[in-house]
Structure 1
Amino acid sequence: MDFQLVERFAMIAWCIWFKRNSSRIGSPSLPFSQIHSDAIERLQEFQQVQDMPLVPFQPPTPKQSAAGLGVVLRDHEGKVIGALSERIALPPSVEDVEALACRRAILFAMELNLQTVIFKGDSEIISNSLNSSEACLAPFGHLIEDARHLASGFQAVVFAHVRRKGNGVADKLAKLARQSHSPQIWFGDIHSDAHNLVMFDSLFC
């Protein structure tokens, strides 16, 4: 038996049945003269869908659940004396991440017993908050107050804002941190992927 003929017969029969039921309840329907062409069109649409390749199920991409902190310490000549890349749980805002990065940079400088330091970051909001003489009432204010308290232990300290182009090393280390579950620290060196950014940063600082 011709399978295509069976499919065509079944579709025409269904369309006649649908026409009959629609007429019984008073619903609009196609005239009998158009049932054959409508049935063939529906059958062709059905066959086209059946010929389409199945797309395997792709589970939704999980939302980012971690952030990264990147810190680089340089001497007065711009040479790297230390660098840090550390993964943290994702804070509620970008400002929280920037404030945590600054706080981590302060702690890192303290660990290396530095006394005269300039902390540079590309968040103007955080830089202004750290330099303000007033209490920070923003949601991240507790981080600002903690950073100020820690920084008071240095002999001399300055918080400066730099353009994002001049903060490429720290940004690169922060991105690398999200791929590692353990903190990475370098002394007198830096991650190989950030070597080419060290000199580039100094042009924009």
Structure 2
Amino acid sequence: MKHVQAVLFDLDGTLIDSEHFYYSNWKPILQQNFDLEIDFEDWLTFFAGHTLVRNVHFLKEQWGIETTDEFMWQETRAAYARADMRTIALMPYAKEILEDLQQSGKRIALVTSSYQTTVDTVLGHHGLLGFFEFFITRERVEHPKPNPEPYTLAIESMKLPANEIVAIEDTSTGLKAAHGAGLSCIAVSRQEVERARLSAAEFMLDDLAAVREILL
């Protein structure tokens, strides 16, 4: 894939190690308000990679839990603020792969279902915002991943053919969105739950260090 001119990164679980942060904040909310106990594997299996709206719908569908988007938004945002999103670490080799891609002249952008405030807080804390040409965040699209709209918008913004752009994702939600937009996708995950659902990716890698061998 040396011909690739641009790389579109997912954020959560791909560049930042945020899934346990989200899990640790959702877990007490679900337990205290709805008497629902989940473990980290449950989080990865049922919630990771999805929007809050979808997860609220899933709670009702799977467990009959009646709540609202507004309630869960308020509860989770308050929990995130108390926990401080700046404590979220980068995934291994995240900064290094961004530096290598930038030095090689490849264009870089971010396509995420998180909001711009999350991007600014976490990537800003780690000093990585300057690597990205633009950010496609939740508020910029009507239909988030797994709908292809975020990636379609990114392709339009790049003004490049889809075959010269690659997406890097860690969940089947993101993979479906990338493929739906006509992009090849490099899947990066060590989570067995996710790896089992990422078999359609063009490459399945353990970490971001291995991305270098494919793109550079």
Give the TM bin, normalised by the shorter chain.
under 0.3
With the length of structure 1 as denominator, give the TM-score of the two structures.
Answer: 0.25
Q: Which has the higher contact order (CA 8 A, sep 6+)?
A: 2
With the length of structure 2 as denominator, give the TM-score of the two structures.
Answer: 0.24
> Higher strand fraction: Structure 1 or Structure 2?
1
